């Protein structure tokens, strides 16, 4: 019996974590997430979950775990700015893909708040989570079960009072961000992603109430009218944005609203398997993909801050990964360094974590990934992550000589 229990514990991603030990990464080539030039053949010292030293002359403490990277490449841990992770196993899959920080774009039942607390308490290796709680939508669907106060909204979430109630229920559960929608979904066969869901006035009620609670708002929007209304109402970011016009993109560039195109998800709609496998969605993706490609190129040209998110639960069938989004960005006109920033320092700025993570620099959280080769020469290197360090703990190490 005992061995069964032991086996079950070993299989669980939830383990009591020792306090982070000191780690020294030797012979690293570093892309720090900000600078144009890589740092060549440096040592990175991690102490107490933070980056303590980076440089040729860095000296590890005597008790440090030494990992010789032998000229491999180090990037800041990747950021997924649009996830729906709601389980321990899914969090582990995200982490093993190199994602050390996520912004939830809603979970049905505040699982994202629970995950955040486990990571903060050192019981789960990561990724760090910004939680969104319940998606504010005209129809709450199953999420109406997340809190007894939501039962009052069985008839819909439309008036300013109803909208403010969901903001406050979320805030009372301790979320970090509020998620709402400007348009309907692309990922359901019977909804039209171009159709506006909330007016500017409704979105403004949400943003005003969220602001009172100190929370930024992210808005799902494919169609232009719904997205424009959301930007006018003051959201932090537009999620998806497939049909955004130049005038909406210009407004975003002016206000500083971020764009999270989740382009990888459109590819998933088109391909068999993955999170979506439906003939209607396949056909829809055939026209959405070229539209989204043009839109992302225009967003970059007009100076919109574009960042990575892949809109998956990291379930067992998911094939969407931030590394794919990075590669896709380079196919849509970004330089490799721009695409890396979109997944690191720039994404951290959108999440309000720009001074904590997304960079390899002294004082930042020890969130980083190791890849085999130079991603500035071959961006596909980011798809093969061999080491993941999250908050100073080595969460994954596929190097044969690592300790
Ligand atoms: Zn989503």
Amino acid 16: pLDDT: 55
Q: How far apart (Å, rounded) are the C-alpha atoms in residues 148 and 154?
A: 11
**Dist. CA 136–CA 164, nearest whole Å:** 10
Ligand 1 centroid–CA 192 distance in Å is: 15
**What's the CA-to-centroid distance between 227 and ligand 1, angstroms?**
15
The pLDDT value given to residue 84: 98
pLDDT confidence of residue 21: 86
Distance 352 CA to ligand 1 centre (A): 19
Helix/strand/coil for 65: strand
Least confident of 6-15, 63-72, 267-276: 6-15
For residues 178-191, average pLDDT: 93
Share of the chain above pLDDT 70, in %: 95
Of 217, 278, 267, the residue nearest 242 (C-alpha): 267
How deeply is 10 buried, as exposed, middle or buried, from its count of CB atoms within 10 A (0-12, 13-18, 19+)?
Answer: exposed
Q: Cα(first)–Cα(last) distance of the chain, in Å? A: 31
Beta-carbon contacts of 123 under 8 Å, excluding residues fewer than 6 positions away, are: 14, 15, 16, 17
pLDDT score for 20: 80
pLDDT of residue 400: 72
What mean pLDDT comes out for the span 166-177?
98
Give the Cα separation of 28 and 71 in Å (integer). 5
Confidence of residue 3 (pLDDT cuts 50, 70, 90): very low
User: 256: CA distance to ligand 1 center in Å?
Assistant: 21
Please tell me the pTM assigned to this model: 0.95
What pLDDT score does 244 carry? 98
Task: Indicate left, alpha or beta for 153 from its phi (over 0: left) and psi (-120 to 50: alpha).
Answer: alpha
Decide if pLDDT at 262 tops 60. Answer: yes
Task: Please state the separation of Cα 149 from the chain's center in Å.
Answer: 29
pLDDT tens per residue, range 283-324: 999 999 999 999 999 999 999 999 999 999 999 999 999 999
In this prediction, residue 19 has a pLDDT band, given cuts at 50, 70 and 90, of confident
pLDDT given at position 14? 61
Q: Distance between alpha carbon 194 and the CA centroid of its chain, in Å?
A: 24
- Any idea what the Cα angle at residue 345 is, between residues 342 and 346, rounded to 5°? 50
CB 258 within 8 A of CB 276: no
- Distance from Cα 265 to the centre of ligand 1, integer Å: 9
Q: Is the pLDDT of residue 1 over 60?
A: no
Q: How many angstroms does the Cα of residue 83 sit away from the middle of ligand 1?
A: 6
CA of 334 to the centre of ligand 1 (A): 23
Residue with tokens 């206000």: 255
Instruction: Give the residue among 375, 264, 343 at the shortest CA–CA distance from 34.
Output: 343
Q: Which two tokens stand for residue 6?
A: 């032991």
How far is residue 150 CA from its own chain's centroid?
27
Rounded distance from Cα 82 to ligand 1 centre (Å): 6
Contact between residue 358 and residue 343 where contact means Cβ atoms under 8 Å apart: no
Q: How far apart are CA 274 and CA 255, in angstroms?
A: 35
pLDDT band at 12 (very low <50, low <70, confident <90, very high): low
pLDDT in tens, 73-98: 999 999 999 999 999 999 999 999 99
List, in order of start, the domains of the chain with CATH numbers: 2-75+360-397 (2.30.40.10), 77-350 (3.20.20.140)
């Amino acid at each position: 019996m005992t061995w069964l229990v032991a086996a079950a514990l070993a299989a669980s991603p939830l383990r009591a974590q020792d306090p982070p030990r000191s780690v020294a990464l030797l012979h690293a080539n570093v892309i720090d997430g900000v600078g144009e030039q890589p740092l060549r053949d440096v040592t990175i010292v991690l102490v107490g979950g933070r980056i303590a030293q980076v440089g040729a002359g860095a000296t590890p403490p005597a008790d440090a775990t030494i990992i010789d990277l032998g000229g491999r490449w180090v990037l800041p841990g990747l950021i997924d700015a649009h996830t729906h992770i709601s389980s321990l196993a899914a969090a582990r899959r995200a982490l093993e893909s190199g994602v050390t920080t996520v912004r939830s774009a809603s979970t049905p039942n505040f699982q994202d708040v629970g995950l955040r607390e486990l990571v903060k308490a050192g019981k789960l290796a990561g990724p760090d989570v910004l939680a969104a709680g319940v998606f504010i939508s005209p129809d709450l669907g199953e999420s109406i079960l997340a809190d007894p106060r939501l039962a009052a909204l069985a008839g819909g979430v439309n008036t300013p009072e109803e909208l403010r109630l969901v903001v406050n229920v979320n805030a009372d559960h301790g979320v970090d961000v509020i998620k709402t929608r400007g348009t309907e979904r692309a990922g359901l066969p019977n909804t039209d992603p171009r159709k506006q869901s909330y007016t500017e006035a409704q979105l403004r009620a949400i943003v005003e109430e969220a602001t009172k609670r100190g929370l930024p708002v992210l808005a799902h929007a494919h169609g232009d009218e719904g997205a424009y209304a959301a930007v006018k109402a003051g959201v932090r970011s537009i999620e998806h944005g497939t049909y955004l016009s130049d005038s909406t993109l210009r407004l975003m560039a002016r206000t500083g609203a971020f764009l999270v195109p989740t382009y990888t998800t459109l590819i998933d709609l088109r391909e068999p398997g993955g999170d979506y496998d439906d003939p209607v969605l396949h056909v829809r993706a055939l026209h959405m993909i070229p539209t989204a490609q043009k839109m992302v190129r225009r967003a970059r040209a007009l100076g919109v801050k574009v960042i990575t998110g892949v809109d998956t639960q990291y379930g067992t069938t998911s094939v969407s990964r931030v590394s794919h989004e990075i590669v896709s960005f380079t196919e849509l006109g970004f330089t490799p360094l721009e695409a890396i920033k979109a997944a690191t320092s720039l994404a951290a700025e959108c999440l309000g974590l720009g001074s904590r993570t997304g960079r390899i620099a002294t004082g930042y959280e020890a969130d980083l990934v190791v890849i085999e080769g130079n991603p500035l020469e071959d961006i596909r290197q980011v798809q093969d992550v061999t080491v993941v360090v999250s908050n100073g703990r080595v969460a994954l190490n596929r190097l044969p000589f690592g300790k």
